[in-house]
Each structure stands twice: as structure tokens, then as C-alpha cells.
């Protein structure tokens, strides 16, 4: 029997704005509350990134012995964690940008065939601590922010990540914030949300950017957990680099035409990065061991997320999700990004001998959040996993008036790159399936011998389930649906943090 304790932490008039634009998923309370906050009809899509499946939650919950449909595999011993923006205490919801919502991590502890607990916790930056009436311990780091983009295991720790400036935050096993994390005092300046961990080399790679830099940095964190090498790669216009790719030999830098705009920053734009027609789109290939980038100019596209990359003779292969140009990091009034089309799964084959990049559309089903068996990062893979959530894309496309793609449904997808086929696990309307994370079965030998974990809303229950699929029976009935006591808003990225 599920039991949980609720800790209501939003209180007081100062937080009324935040409290009034959030609410239960699919609940009638939500519509009335949103109206109160905006003075407009809640169904008008005025604040799409604060509504419906994207609406922040208002409470930190702790629940034990979660109800399970099916069986939790006994070899899943660890924590499934996923983070995302969850705005707290908004004074002006209409001035808010989705990507700047305070990071909240949602976690489920699995052990011995049981779902022991669920917790959701804001990352305690100085700003979050202040809004919660708590004391921030220690000195506040520069560019402090409640990291909202990724949460990863690293060297026995749990680390929440953000790009473009803020230090990572270390979390404890119950999602409490420990302290800013700077790789044993070796990280100087900005970090990233999308690292690549090469398990065979025991190296954590990052490509970092900062608005005032005239370069981006490739960082290698070695097996001792220290930033062992930094390579500065000159770039013009201070571009935003959300993700990159890694092979055994190369780092692939993606120089997209989304660049820092000082005028927008001066005007107070929450995300002062704009689509810059004058900035050429380039892909840079840098030797992992250091050295200069070799650049390839290509047609503009928004490079969103890397599935994986690998070397293939004299070629570098990168599989990724992208969106058509132009892509606006700060949509014109939407409170989040906006795009002119849906994301697709694509491949670049970079011919280092011939000096060309060949693009291939792998799948035009709108999809995002590509993941691979993490043990194969930088090595050739066969399988990839993605998510499709109509709810997120509707928010993106309201700005440009482009109707949501009918194909952008609710599903998880398993791709077989060797066969060029896919399997689709569908969920009902309103499911808002989030990033699928592959976890190998204990003793697995095959690449896809394991589980795919994802938070999926149950609209009937008005709450979210942690869904566990068998990766080798992808379209079959889930092995387990673990009922969480609340809703997990559609967010960003996460990880399986194994206990052993
Ligand atoms: Fe991302």
C-alpha cells in the first residue's frame, strides 16, 4: 500500500503567482488557477510553458512503498533520476522563460524488486533557498543557479548540471543539495549539461561556453575526477552549444547560429541568445588528444541532442536530433523556445578524407531526447531510444502559429540502426512520455539486453508513472508501471544511478 508524506512548502503572498499558475494535471483546479494568474483564459495557450504537462509542481513529496503494476526487475538496484525546470515563486509569470525555471529532480529508488520511494526536490541554489526561507550554507558561487538540465552519476556522486555559466551542484542519495561541485577545485568557469562519459577510458568530456568568451572549451575530466586538460577552440559571436559528440578519436563541436546578443542582454531578455543569420553553421572535428578544429560548413539547422557518435574508417558518424532553421531559443512571447518545425532523427557522416559532410534523415517522426546504451558512448552502437511527447511540441509551436504535427504523438521509440527499422511503444493522449534511459540487465551481453525507463503521465490518475519496458520486448506490456504520488512535469534529462 502506498503511503506518502506531503510537505507543502509554498506559502505566503510572495509565492502566490507561482502557486496560481500551477496545478494538477488535467484537474479543474488548474484552469481556474491559471486564469487567476494571467487574467486571461487558461485555454488560450498564453503561457504554454507553465501549463498542462509543462506546469511546475508546487510541492516536494516523499512517498514510500510505491504501488506497482507488474514487477520491478530485481536487478534494478539504484535510483532513476530526471530533472527539469520547475519555476518557484514567479513574480511575473509572463516575464519568465521556461529554461530558467529552478531545477527540480524527481527520483525513484528501486531495490530488491520494490519501488522503495519517490522524492522530488528543488536544487538548493542560493535563489531557491531564499525563496523557500532556508539558509544557504557557504559562499554563493558566481552565476549561481538551480541546475535544471541534467543529472548524472559521477565517481559515486550525483551531480546536477547546467550549461552556459553556473557550477554543477552535488546532490545526496535522497536528492538533498550538498554543495556546488567543481571537480575538486579544478573547474574554472562554465560547465555544460551534456557531458560524455567514455567508460573504457574513464574520461568525462565536456564542451563549455560562456557569453563573454571568444572561444569554447573542450574539457577532459580524468579518472581522478579533476579537469586534466582544457582546449580552447576559437569561435565567433559566442554561440550557444547545447550538446556535442564524442568518438574514440574526436570531439565534434557544433557551432550553431544561435549567438549571444548583448543588446538583448542589456534589454533584460531572460535568454539573450538569438538566431543569427550572419553566423555560419559549422561542424568542427577536434582530436580528442588536443589540437586545432577542422571545420566543415553546412546548411543551418538547430542541433538539439546527440544520440551517439563513432569513428568509421576515415569518417566520423554523428547521430542526433535536430530542428529546422531558424530556431529561436527565446520564442517571441511564448515563455520558451519556438521552432518552425518538428525535431527529427538525423545522421552526419563526416568524410575527413574528402572534406564533406553527408546528411541523412534517419526518421522523420517528430522525436527528441535520444539515448543510447551508455557503455557505448563514443563507440559504434546499433540501438537508440527516443521519446515523442505532443505536449511539449504544442508549446513550442504556438508562437509561429504552426499547428502541431499530427504525427507528434506520445510514444517511446527504439531504433535499430543496423536494420534501419524502429519499434514504437505508444501511450495514450496526455501521456507526455519523457526521455527514455536504457539500463543494462545485470550480466547483459547484448547491447539491448536491459530496460528502458521513462516517466509517463497517467491522465486518468492525474499523476505520473515510472514505466519500465523490456528493451528486447519493446512493444510488449511494460514490465512495471510504478505509481508516483504526483505529477512529474515534462522536463529535460536524467540518468540511472546504479548502486553497484
Ligand atoms: Fe538537452
- pLDDT reported for residue 8: 34
Contact 185, 163 (CB under 8 A): no
Between the CA of 104 and the centroid of ligand 1 the distance, in Å, is 15
The stretches in the chain having pLDDT less than 50 are 1-45, 399
Between the CA of 128 and the centroid of ligand 1 the distance, in Å, is 22
* Sign of the Cα pseudo-torsion (413, 416, 417, 419, in order): negative
Neighbours of 358 (CB within 10 A): 13
Helix (H, G, I), strand (E, B) or coil at 52: helix
- pLDDT reported for residue 408: 65
Integer CA distances (angstroms), 289 to 182, 217, 245, 467, 470, in order: 23, 14, 15, 40, 38
Between the CA of 39 and the centroid of ligand 1 the distance, in Å, is 32
Between the CA of 305 and the centroid of ligand 1 the distance, in Å, is 6
What is the H or E stretch that residue 130 is in? helix 126-131
Percent above pLDDT 70 for the chain: 88
Between the CA of 344 and the centroid of ligand 1 the distance, in Å, is 15
Between the CA of 370 and the centroid of ligand 1 the distance, in Å, is 10
Contact 212, 261 (CB under 8 A): no
Between the CA of 328 and the centroid of ligand 1 the distance, in Å, is 15
What does 380-422 look like in DSSP terms, one character per residue?
A: --SEEEEEE-HHHHHHHHTTTTPPPPTT--SEEEEEETTTTEE
Between the CA of 120 and the centroid of ligand 1 the distance, in Å, is 20
Between the CA of 304 and the centroid of ligand 1 the distance, in Å, is 7
- Annotated binding-site residue? 493: yes
- Annotated binding-site residue? 218: no
pTM of the model: 0.91
- pLDDT reported for residue 330: 87
Between the CA of 368 and the centroid of ligand 1 the distance, in Å, is 9
Cα(403)–Cα(92) distance, rounded to whole angstroms?
A: 28
What is the H or E stretch that residue 23 is in? none
All cell numbers assigned to 426: 505508444
Amino acid at each position: 500500500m502506498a503511503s506518502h508524506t506531503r510537505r507543502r512548502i509554498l506559502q505566503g503572498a510572495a509565492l502566490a503567482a507561482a502557486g496560481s499558475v500551477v496545478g494538477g494535471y488535467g484537474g479543474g483546479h488548474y484552469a481556474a488557477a491559471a486564469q487567476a494568474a494571467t487574467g486571461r483564459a487558461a485555454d488560450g495557450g498564453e503561457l504554454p510553458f507553465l501549463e498542462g504537462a509543462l506546469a511546475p509542481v508546487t510541492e516536494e513529496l516523499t512517498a514510500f512503498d510505491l504501488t506497482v503494476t507488474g514487477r520491478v526487475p530485481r536487478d534494478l538496484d539504484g535510483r532513476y533520476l530526471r530533472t527539469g525546470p520547475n519555476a518557484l515563486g514567479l513574480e511575473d509569470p509572463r516575464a519568465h522563460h521556461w529554461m530558467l525555471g529552478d531545477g527540480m529532480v524527481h527520483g525513484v529508488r528501486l531495490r530488491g524488486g520494490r519501488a522503495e520511494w519517490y522524492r522530488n526536490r528543488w536544487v538548493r541554489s542560493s535563489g531557491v533557498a531564499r525563496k523557500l526561507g532556508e539558509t544557504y550554507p557557504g559562499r554563493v558561487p558566481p552565476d549561481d543557479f538551480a541546475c535544471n538540465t541534467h543529472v548524472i552519476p559521477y565517481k559515486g556522486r550525483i551531480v546536477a548540471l547546467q550549461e552556459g555559466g553556473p557550477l554543477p551542484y552535488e546532490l545526496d542519495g535522497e536528492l538533498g543539495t550538498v554543495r556546488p561541485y567543481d571537480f575538486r577545485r579544478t573547474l574554472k568557469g562554465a560547465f555544460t549539461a551534456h557531458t560524455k562519459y567514455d567508460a573504457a577510458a574513464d574520461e568525462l568530456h565536456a564542451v563549455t561556453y560562456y557569453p563573454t568568451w571568444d572561444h569554447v572549451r573542450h574539457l577532459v575530466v580524468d579518472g581522478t575526477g579533476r579537469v586534466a586538460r582544457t582546449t580552447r577552440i576559437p569561435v565567433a559571436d559566442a554561440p550557444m552549444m547545447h550538446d556535442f559528440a564524442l568518438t574514440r578519436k574526436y570531439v565534434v563541436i557544433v557551432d550553431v547560429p544561435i549567438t549571444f546578443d548583448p543588446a538583448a542582454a542589456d534589454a533584460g531578455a531572460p535568454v539573450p541568445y538569438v538566431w543569427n543569420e550572419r553566423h555560419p553553421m559549422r561542424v568542427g572535428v577536434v582530436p580528442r588528444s588536443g589540437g586545432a578544429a577542422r571545420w566543415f560548413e553546412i546548411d543551418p539547422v538547430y542541433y538539439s541532442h546527440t544520440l551517439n557518435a563513432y569513428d568509421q574508417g576515415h569518417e566520423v558518424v554523428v547521430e542526433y536530433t535536430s530542428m529546422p532553421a531558424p530556431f529561436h531559443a527565446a520564442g517571441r512571447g511564448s515563455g520558451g523556445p519556438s521552432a518552425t518545425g518538428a525535431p527529427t532523427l538525423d545522421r552526419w557522416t563526416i568524410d575527413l578524407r574528402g572534406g564533406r559532410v553527408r546528411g541523412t534523415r534517419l526518421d522523420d517522426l517528430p522525436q527528441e531526447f535520444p539515448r543510447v546504451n551508455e557503455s557505448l558512448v563514443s563507440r559504434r552502437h546499433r540501438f537508440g531510444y527516443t521519446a515523442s511527447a505532443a505536449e511539449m511540441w504544442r508549446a513550442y509551436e504556438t508562437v509561429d502559429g504552426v499547428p502541431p504535427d499530427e504525427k507528434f504523438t506520445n510514444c517511446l521509440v527504439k531504433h535499430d540502426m543496423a536494420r534501419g527499422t524502429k519499434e514504437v511503444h505508444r501511450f495514450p493522449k496526455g501521456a507526455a512520455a519523457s526521455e527514455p534511459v536504457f539500463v543494462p540487465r545485470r550480466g547483459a551481453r547484448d547491447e539491448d539486453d536491459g530496460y528502458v525507463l521513462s516517466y509517463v503521465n497517467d491522465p486518468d490518475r492525474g499523476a505520473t508513472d515510472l514505466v519500465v519496458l523490456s528493451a528486447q520486448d519493446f512493444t510488449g506490456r511494460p514490465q512495471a508501471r510504478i505509481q508516483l504520488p504526483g505529477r512529474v512535469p515534462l522536463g529535460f534529462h536524467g540518468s540511472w544511478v546504479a548502486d553497484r
